[in-house]
Structure 1
Amino acid sequence: MKTTLRLLNYVWLLSVLFMGTDTIAQTSEMTIGISSAFSSPDELGETAEIIGTVTDELGPLPGANIVIKGTNNGTTSNFDGHFSLVNVQPGSHVLVISYIGYDTKEVAVEVTKREQLNLGTITLSAGSEALEEVVIKGGYKSSQQKALNIKKQSIAIMEVMASDVIGKLPDRNAAEAVQRMQGVSIERDHGEGRYVIVRGTPIAWNSTLMNGSRMPSTEGTSDNTGGTRTAPLDVFPSEMIEFVELSKAITPDMEGDAIGGSVNFITRTAPNKKTLSVNLGYGQNFQAEKPVQNASIVYGDRVADGKIGFMVSGTYWNRNWGTDNYEVVYNENFSINNLQLRDYLGKRTTAGFNAGMEYKPNDNTKIFVRGLYTDFKDEESAVEHTFAFPTQDGETLNTEGEMSLRVRHGITGITLFGTEMGGNHKFANGKFNIDWKASTYDAEMGNRKLPNSGNTGEPAYLMATFSTPVTYNNLTSDGYKFLDIDAPAGYNGDHYDNIQPYLSSTVEGGQLQLDNQLAYKSYSKETDYTGQLDFTYQPSEKVKLKAGGKYKTMKLERGAPYSYYLYLGGNYGAPIYMTDYATTGFPYNGGYLSEIGNPYDNVLLDPIKKEELPTLFNTETLANPMYYHINFNKENPSSAGAFYTGNEDVAAAYVMGDISLSDKLKLMAGARYEHTYLKYKGHAVTTTEDGPIISEIENSNDFGSLLPMVHLKYMPKDNLNLKLAYTRTFARANFSDLNPTETVSLLSIPNTISRGNIKLEPTYSNNFDFMGEYFFKDVGLVSGGVFYKSLENLIYSARSYETIDGELYQVTQPNNSEQGWLAGFELGISKRLTFLPGFLSGFGVEANYTFADSEMDVPQYDVDQSTGEIMVSTTTEKIPNQSKHIFNTALFYEKGGLTVRLAGNYKGESLAVVQGNTENYRWYDKNFTVDLSTSYRLNSKLRFYLELNNLTNEPLRYYQGTADRPEQTEYYSLRGMFGINYNIF
């Protein structure tokens, strides 16, 4: 016990360094508090426990502050509104319960020693008649109250969103819901949110949790090597979420791989009372010109005298989508290599089921079971015109190029399945708690069978390309095509939003011959098994100690075979023309690139029907001797590297303490240790003069990560928080970086090696955060803070040189750089304009802005051609995928039963790919989307709503070097939905 006391005093000295000399005056008070915390067991055994549930007329109130009047002994209610106040001295007391926006309530209690006093349900009343009207009708304000109260009571720096907030935003998946939080932005796929980004950090630095455990990933890369640890959130419907916690400075009891932040989705378990609600929605995607439908149902109840609670929910979301896209590929001299015009049409469906049950035989025991299942299916078809421009062939000037049309159709499916079982057990009048949980999550991604492929059709993404030689006009004298910003003197280049092929003659569909076919398959799977055990001990009203551990084992599978068919008929036999198959009109749904004036209507051809693709791939057709066939599988040197498996085991332990240094100053300090063991199996491919050699390869590695953390919270006033934190966190390498595949060529000069790197160290970050929060009494907040991250071992793709057995090799592999940093600040405000008269008092504003900048040191390798000496230098780069500017803004109106919210989300440009010199870098362009949601609550049971997304039809853009040199531009148009929500009871 003396050692523990000494350790806590050392932690206090560390906190003084953070807070400054003004806090030294409180040292004696803190020392006395800690000493009294470790009183004799006999004395502590005389205390009592008070339990209860805080609610309003709608349901539980999380984050309520409960304190014994005249003391510092207090607690807060959890997500279910339950609270447990321990170390209560026997006698008469007054319990004070406070909540932002509600009248403070005082409850007189009389407790005896060793008693557990259950106060049952304590209902709070709204703070004014106007507020009461809003709260009772379940408006946006009640949702804000829950989030702000949890945020206010937390020692850590965090954001919170409640399920009823999510239901009032035009967001139907988890990523789009979270983007409304301060410091958060998202990346989209065909206009729909997929990845969460915190404070502009790279996606891989942000962890996504499901009930406290990291979600499995199914993400791959374009070459099917299965790249990232990032969980795609468009597979997860927002209706299944109860709360979202965004931790910007994590605590020791949370998983440590979260440099940017940790987003925890908490699913529904059991209600406090009988619940049945139905949601129905119908709308339109104006790019696809096809409908969008949504339906969900939630049912829950408590039975057996309240000892058993359960909740089940189901959701179905069907949305057609469309994308107009043009892409440009450049040569090294910035001339245009090819122009691609892509029109996508697709249909995504998400079916989800969530169930939870808890059993509370008494006030000291709770056992729960949770399960969820989601099935995401994305059926995609695309028509792609590609204009390949000529380039100079030696000394010959060539003005002939090629035009091709590719049709593709496939279905990709992702399933996510998870189950959890756990419990909470209280002992010693609530002072000692044991929490445990065992869980398994499984995520699998792969192609599905096409609807018209027949019983023998294999799941695959099918593509067929038809082409013909063409001649172009408006080229330079040496046969190149340029944009106007890169055009040489005397040449009239094209504007980036009107890049014309300038065909010398009209091309008809009957001229295009079958060139090649591709049956592409994708597959990835991750299975996680996790067990955890946590102990909490609260020896006094001023100290709470917590310790625990977690063990997780993960199995990863990546890779799938695919087939390539080159049709040689055009040169060696009878050609197959595109018009030999049934064609259909070009899908001008919503007008193709109408946003830039429909510039390509004169060159677009009618493609074959997507239903014809399975015919091209049937056994009889592929038996044609004009086909040259390649199987890309484990036996093919070109694809063997895409097949690998991985096993990761993580054992973690932590210890932490919450200490009330005074009634205004609180400290949380502790450390977490995670030990990671990796074992990956793949293939080594060596190309020699005698041909390629393929062999299996297995690599392993392990490393430990010690993560100390300190949080301080100072409350000079009841509605003002000042929070300071130091945390050490990390980010493990992506799966593709650890892939043991090694490709060696002994025919190159110099010899080359391309490989993964199992010995990669994780990227570590020492994080320093300061945040100030001022809470308005009429439910609002103004906040501001700064953050700094000192980075070690950043992972980048390196090209270096090595001498092996006297031979020089050029080696490409992921490596660790030495150091870097990321720093910035954030500001936010949420304010209701209640000071305005009458109708205007229903208006409110929300806005938050985050600025971040970064640098990383990247080694550069070169070889002195005269001496063969390998030279190393260092350059400074921005961290990839990091945005400088992020902001969210909203203007809302809420009065009576009417709620209107106009919201905007901005993400600044970010470096996407380092390629060539700085002028060749690929950048993700800035993006600002605007959405509108309105609802009218007719009564306490029935609500009508209208949701509109992407009001300004904001494009997604990538560019090379400068914004006037686009590489990819996509438009998605507007989508909207009208619906009803009926709370039956």
Structure 2
Amino acid sequence: MKRFLLMASAAPFALLAMPASAQDATPQEQAQAAAPDAGVDEQAPVAQERATKSAQGRSPGTTATENLGTTEDSVADTSPENSTGSEIVVTGYRASLGSAQAVKRNSDAILDAVVAQDIGKLPDNTAAESLARVTGVQVNRYSDEVNQVLVRGLPDVATTFNGRDIFTAELRRSQLQDFPAGALAGLEVYKSGTADLLEPGLAGLINVRSRRPFDFTEKLVIAGGVRGTYNDQTKKFDPLGNILVSQRADTAIGEIGWLINASYSQSQYRNAVRWATGNVPTTLPDNVTVSPSSVGRAFRIPERVGVFNDSGKRWRPAVNASVQWKPAANLELYYDFLYQGYRGRGANDLFEASLLNNGAQLTNVVLREDKPDQVQTLTKVGGERGQAYRSTNVNNTNTYQAAGGAKWDVGRAHLSTDLAYTRSQYDSNEYSFDMSQTTAPTIDVNFFVDGGSAFSLPGYDRENPANYKWRGYYESTYLVKGSGWQWRGDLDLDTDIAFLPKFQFGFRYTDRDASLERGDRYAYTETLNIPLANTPAGALELTQDVFRGNAQGWTSWLMPTRSGIEGNSAALRQFSLEQLQKLVAANPSDGGYRDALARFQSQNVQLDPLRAFLAAEQTYAFYGQTKYEFDIGSFRVDGLVGARVVNTVGRYSGRGTIPVVVNGVVQRDANGIPVTAAADVQIKANYVDILPNASLRIRPTDKLQIRFGYTKTRTKPDFGQLNPAFSISPNLSPTTNPDGTPVTITDDPRFGAGLQGRPDYTGGGGNPNLVPLTSHNFDATVEYYFSSNASLTAAVFYRDLFGFTSNYTQRYRDPVYGLVQVDRPVNAGAGKIKGVEVGGQTFFDFLPGLLSGFGIQANATYLNGKQRFPTDLSPANSTPPFVAIPGLSKWSYNAALFYEKGKVSTRLSYNGRSRFLNGNNVVNGVYFGEGTEKITRLDFSFNYTPIKQVTLTFDAANLLAQPFRNFAQYGDDRYYPRDVRDEGRYYGLGARFRF
């Protein structure tokens, strides 16, 4: 019996709660699937039938770590009705989409799923990329990859791995982009949970599933894939690959299986950004001249313009392993292991120039025709010189999870237990080399060109080293850690009660810690006028130009290489020390230079205890729920009712600084600098959350079902946000520019007239008074299933919430300290989110011949969300206004066209989201701040299977290469383009195999 199969294939279906109806494969379909040369389209019906039946009766939460039933890669049909006994090969989009549809259809929870075939056959390197195609999911991208997943517009998503909590470093969630696609079996996006699931965030829960040896029917499986990608911006190639080995055998002590799966992914990226600052001063400085005089001085412009190039190389090794042992038919013991790694090596280039500082001259000013208080083009002469940095960084993440457990069926009782330990650490070291131009360049600016701002430096010789000097050297270190134990025990009890066929109970305990340590130092050396070429950073090179089009004129400048900066860090450190010694000798009363010199006396960057925190937290959770079902005429009705009770006990500590005050007077040292003192702060928390859930499903026919659901959720603030330490320190920023002219302080529109000017003190920290974000969630769906891979679904939902947490900048007048500006997280007030989701998919099997290979899938989501602005940021005695929720797009949409016939399967997929805000700043009822314009992408993949054990692949991602655009709004119907980021197109070639 042959056991060949493609590597990327349909996932296991442990989440299915009941068998689907009207999905049995016909005898003809079974015969077609068993044929030696069966195409991928012919195998799908039998594969879906096997997967659906294997999941009968499974509950979403308590079996989330099981992966029992058929293989995600193959289904051996050994039933008597299949006289050939041949294995059914599970391949193709039909199988994967039908399997995902079955998961959605039969789960007790409201969810959407992506199975392994979807991940493997898309040009996706990570789990996060694949989630972008799920109904109701939106993503944010940076550095050519997804770096944030939002469900129904919200980032508060809990993450689990095989049903267990998993996190990255000090976070409460995992970085989903650290899961390489080759390591995964499937993904589930829970939008309305059940009591037996780990308590989800406001947005829901995303469960990532891996493979286990008992998922396969074969005794030995060896499978994998290799792939190479090319980025059209970096002009570089990158490898990706994975290998899986799984074996199972019957022994004298029972059936035993083991599996190991290793994967590696790599990418090199470079994004080019042209930008104008979001700071748009209300008035022009008095020392700025304007010509022609006919344009007046009533216009507003961004304070500066610049270029930013985000570039680097990242790679992610990952290994997961599993051992399963069944000493008896009703008993299974298992052990799972996961390692995730991330390595990043970056070289980020920034150039910026002020348009208003140091008495700049604005000439050739042309106002916009439709908005004469804005500028279309101008030329800046004189003023402040341009400045730049090349920041090199080394980033590493290592996450480990080891777990073991057992499942035991005793009559009607189904018992399970699981114990896991997780440890994760992220560290980053940065080495930044700063330069400035020797003279202030003339700059031509167009604020509205090709969707953004662009500028050029006419007549400036960018390749002449004499035009640059060394501005300084910066180093930093950053270390965050997290670890924790978790244990759970669960009981599923079948009853003889027809109305209440099942009870579920369980307990979960966690013991979690998180910490952060960081430090930095900076040597500011611009006043020494050291030529750029005279530092120990090595040879200079022009930064790479990867802009698309010719809108941006100034695209590159001289800087040392990345290896020259990082590789010569010891020499740069010593050189900085020597220059600081000269500066201290020349400026003995300057405390800033003295502090910088002290920090450079040691070889390593010293950790700053004032910027650290430590958290320890335990949770005790108990849940109980029952499943009910009954008939009303021909209508079948079922659902769940339950609750989860969670007790959280936490300790959070940190160290801050406050000015020393005696008799109402701030104490100062001999140089007149205010004296500050450290203060250790620790708080404790102990609170209980009761999280009820209830669901109702009505099935008038086998094909139609209607759901209603209610849940209460809560999302805890991140550990860093709860840091009780708060620091206030004197503002030591320079009051004069290097040329001796005063630093211009422009009005900040976020604050009233009495809060303008240069703050005397600045501060920030966490906020131990933050409360968890809570929400009452109401969901309803209508789902109609035409066939095993064809459906139309619609959902409406409403979230009544309180307590969104965001960082806000505040100012206040203190009778002792004067004008104080602080940044800290604050709970917003009440909020509301409502939305509609619609989706559908089908293959045109009814069409004749080759046309029957076509299929489509499409979905769209509409969201409308508002939250109250924080009370303490609103005018006194006024009700805070309702404002838009940051990061929430009103519309998101996906569409895919498939073709699958014989040995060929291909997909063209399009997705997008409408514009959204990046933050909330309100002045007199008018929003100002930053937002992002609509984003769209087009991806393509092509697969050819010359023989059953090998598939050849080609894919192309981000074919449209539409720039990412932000805007800066500073008043009612007034905004400037903020930045335009050109991202890379990726092309890939590869092969998957299975033996």
Q: In the TM superposition, what is the alpha-carbon distance from 1:386 to its structure 2 partner?
A: 2.2
Give the match for residue 387 of structure 1: 353
The 8 Å contact of residues 440 and 527 in structure 1, kept in 2 or not, is answered as: yes
Q: Taking structure 1 as reference, are residues 102 and 622 closer, same or farther at Cα in structure 2, changes over 3 Å only? A: closer
Residue by residue over 1:524-544, the C-alpha shift from the partner in whole angstroms, topping out at 9 and shown as x without a partner, is 111121011111111126410
Q: Taking structure 1 as reference, are residues 966 and 230 closer, same or farther at Cα in structure 2, changes over 3 Å only? A: farther
Which of 774, 777, 796 is 1:764 aligned to?
A: 774
Give the counterpart letter for 1:955 in structure 2: P
The 8 Å contact of residues 10 and 116 in structure 2, kept in 1 or not, is answered as: no
Give the match for residue 3 of structure 1: none
Which of 264, 267, 280 is 1:316 aligned to?
A: 264
Matches within 5 A, 1:663-678: 664-678=636-650
1:272 maps to 2:244: no
Which of 773, 783, 789 is 1:773 aligned to?
A: 783
1:712 maps to 2:668: no
Q: Taking structure 1 as reference, are residues 135 and 335 closer, same or farther at Cα in structure 2, changes over 3 Å only? A: farther
Q: In the TM superposition, what is the alpha-carbon distance from 1:784 to its structure 2 partner?
A: 0.3
Q: In the TM superposition, what is the alpha-carbon distance from 1:280 to its structure 2 partner?
A: 1.2
Q: Sequence identity of aligned pairs in percent?
A: 19
Give the match for residue 686 of structure 1: 658
Which of 455, 474, 485 is 1:500 aligned to?
A: 455
Give the match for residue 53 of structure 1: none
Q: Taking structure 1 as reference, are residues 874 and 482 closer, same or farther at Cα in structure 2, changes over 3 Å only? A: farther
Matches within 5 A, 1:444-843: 444-447=425-428, 460-473=429-442, 483=447, 497-503=452-458, 505-506=460-461, 508-540=464-496, 542=498, 543-567=501-525, 570=528, 577=533, 582-588=538-544, 592-594=546-548, 596-597=549-550, 599-600=552-553, 604-613=556-565, 614-615=567-568, 617-618=570-571, 620-624=574-578, 625-626=581-582, 628=593, 629=596, 640-662=609-631, 664-687=636-659, 688-690=666-668, 691-744=675-728, 754-797=764-807, 813-843=824-854
Aligned equivalents of 1:795, 1:105: Cα separation in 2 = 44
Residue by residue over 1:527-566, the C-alpha shift from the partner in whole angstroms, topping out at 9 and shown as x without a partner, is 1210111111111264100011111111111122222112
Aligned equivalents of 2:164, 2:918: Cα separation in 1 = 29
Residue by residue over 1:803-830, the C-alpha shift from the partner in whole angstroms, topping out at 9 and shown as x without a partner, is 9999999776433344110000000001
Aligned equivalents of 2:12, 2:528: Cα separation in 1 = 72
Give the counterpart letter for 1:898 in structure 2: V
Aligned equivalents of 1:135, 1:68: Cα separation in 2 = 20
Give the match for residue 160 of structure 2: 209
Aligned equivalents of 2:550, 2:17: Cα separation in 1 = 58
Aligned equivalents of 1:859, 1:105: Cα separation in 2 = 51
Give the match for residue 880 of structure 1: 886
Residue by residue over 1:643-684, the C-alpha shift from the partner in whole angstroms, topping out at 9 and shown as x without a partner, is 111112111111000111237100200001111122111112
Give the counterpart letter for 1:650 in structure 2: T
Aligned equivalents of 1:58, 1:184: Cα separation in 2 = 21
1:844 maps to 2:844: no
The 8 Å contact of residues 66 and 98 in structure 1, kept in 2 or not, is answered as: no
Give the counterpart letter for 1:403 in structure 2: G
Aligned equivalents of 1:575, 1:310: Cα separation in 2 = 62
Structure 1 counterpart SS, 2:546: coil
Structure 1 counterpart SS, 2:563: helix
The 8 Å contact of residues 64 and 99 in structure 1, kept in 2 or not, is answered as: no
TM-score by length of 1: 0.78
The 8 Å contact of residues 168 and 399 in structure 2, kept in 1 or not, is answered as: no
Q: In the TM superposition, what is the alpha-carbon distance from 1:768 to its structure 2 partner?
A: 0.5
Give the counterpart letter for 2:945 in structure 1: R
Q: In the TM superposition, what is the alpha-carbon distance from 1:689 to its structure 2 partner?
A: 2.7
1:294 maps to 2:243: no
Aligned equivalents of 1:768, 1:536: Cα separation in 2 = 26
**Higher mean C-alpha deviation, range 787-796 or range 943-952:** 787-796
Aligned equivalents of 1:395, 1:941: Cα separation in 2 = 70
- Unmatched 5+ residue regions in structure 1? 1-56, 70-96, 107-117, 220-227, 448-459, 476-480, 485-493, 865-869
Structure 2 counterpart SS, 1:443: strand
Matches within 5 A, 1:166-245: 166-201=119-154, 203=155, 205-218=156-169, 229-245=172-188
Structure 1 counterpart SS, 2:539: coil
Q: In the TM superposition, what is the alpha-carbon distance from 1:907 to its structure 2 partner?
A: 2.1
Q: Taking structure 1 as reference, are residues 734 and 886 closer, same or farther at Cα in structure 2, changes over 3 Å only? A: same
Which of 326, 337, 342 is 2:274 aligned to?
A: 326
Q: Taking structure 1 as reference, are residues 580 and 522 closer, same or farther at Cα in structure 2, changes over 3 Å only? A: closer
The 8 Å contact of residues 561 and 632 in structure 1, kept in 2 or not, is answered as: no
Give the match for residue 853 of structure 1: 864
Q: Taking structure 1 as reference, are residues 62 and 914 closer, same or farther at Cα in structure 2, changes over 3 Å only? A: closer
Give the match for residue 332 of structure 2: 366
Structure 2 counterpart SS, 1:913: coil
Aligned equivalents of 2:76, 2:658: Cα separation in 1 = 72
Q: Taking structure 1 as reference, are residues 699 and 632 closer, same or farther at Cα in structure 2, changes over 3 Å only? A: farther
Q: Taking structure 1 as reference, are residues 814 and 631 closer, same or farther at Cα in structure 2, changes over 3 Å only? A: farther
Aligned equivalents of 1:851, 1:632: Cα separation in 2 = 53
Q: In the TM superposition, what is the alpha-carbon distance from 1:775 to its structure 2 partner?
A: 1.3
Q: Taking structure 1 as reference, are residues 482 and 695 closer, same or farther at Cα in structure 2, changes over 3 Å only? A: farther
Structure 2 counterpart SS, 1:252: coil
Structure 2 counterpart SS, 1:256: coil
1:339 maps to 2:290: no
Structure 2 counterpart SS, 1:239: helix
Number of aligned residues: 838
Residue by residue over 1:286-316, the C-alpha shift from the partner in whole angstroms, topping out at 9 and shown as x without a partner, is 1111111112101111123461111110111
**Higher mean C-alpha deviation, range 497-506 or range 668-677:** 497-506
Structure 2 counterpart SS, 1:880: coil
Aligned equivalents of 2:896, 2:798: Cα separation in 1 = 28
Q: In the TM superposition, what is the alpha-carbon distance from 1:751 to its structure 2 partner?
A: 8.1
Q: In the TM superposition, what is the alpha-carbon distance from 1:908 to its structure 2 partner?
A: 2.1
Structure 2 counterpart SS, 1:175: helix
The 8 Å contact of residues 896 and 907 in structure 2, kept in 1 or not, is answered as: yes
Give the match for residue 349 of structure 1: 315
Give the match for residue 28 of structure 2: none
**Higher mean C-alpha deviation, range 621-630 or range 516-525:** 621-630
Aligned equivalents of 2:475, 2:651: Cα separation in 1 = 31
Q: Taking structure 1 as reference, are residues 277 and 412 closer, same or farther at Cα in structure 2, changes over 3 Å only? A: same
Q: Taking structure 1 as reference, are residues 229 and 968 closer, same or farther at Cα in structure 2, changes over 3 Å only? A: farther
Q: Taking structure 1 as reference, are residues 604 and 877 closer, same or farther at Cα in structure 2, changes over 3 Å only? A: same
Aligned equivalents of 1:941, 1:749: Cα separation in 2 = 68
TM-score by length of 2: 0.78
Give the counterpart letter for 1:500 in structure 2: F
Structure 1 counterpart SS, 2:769: coil
Give the counterpart letter for 2:280 in structure 1: N
Q: In the TM superposition, what is the alpha-carbon distance from 1:888 to its structure 2 partner?
A: 1.3
Residue by residue over 1:703-736, the C-alpha shift from the partner in whole angstroms, topping out at 9 and shown as x without a partner, is 2111111011111111222111011011111233
The 8 Å contact of residues 441 and 527 in structure 1, kept in 2 or not, is answered as: yes
The 8 Å contact of residues 521 and 605 in structure 2, kept in 1 or not, is answered as: no
The 8 Å contact of residues 653 and 674 in structure 1, kept in 2 or not, is answered as: yes
Q: Taking structure 1 as reference, are residues 720 and 120 closer, same or farther at Cα in structure 2, changes over 3 Å only? A: closer
- For the aligned residue pairs, the C-alpha RMSD in angstroms reads 3.8
Q: In the TM superposition, what is the alpha-carbon distance from 1:198 to its structure 2 partner?
A: 0.6
Aligned equivalents of 1:720, 1:262: Cα separation in 2 = 26
Structure 2 counterpart SS, 1:401: coil
1:250 maps to 2:200: no
Q: In the TM superposition, what is the alpha-carbon distance from 1:252 to its structure 2 partner?
A: 0.5
Aligned equivalents of 1:696, 1:779: Cα separation in 2 = 60
Aligned equivalents of 2:862, 2:921: Cα separation in 1 = 26
Q: In the TM superposition, what is the alpha-carbon distance from 1:470 to its structure 2 partner?
A: 3.1
Give the counterpart letter for 1:676 in structure 2: T
Q: Taking structure 1 as reference, are residues 63 and 790 closer, same or farther at Cα in structure 2, changes over 3 Å only? A: closer
**Higher mean C-alpha deviation, range 645-654 or range 655-664:** 655-664
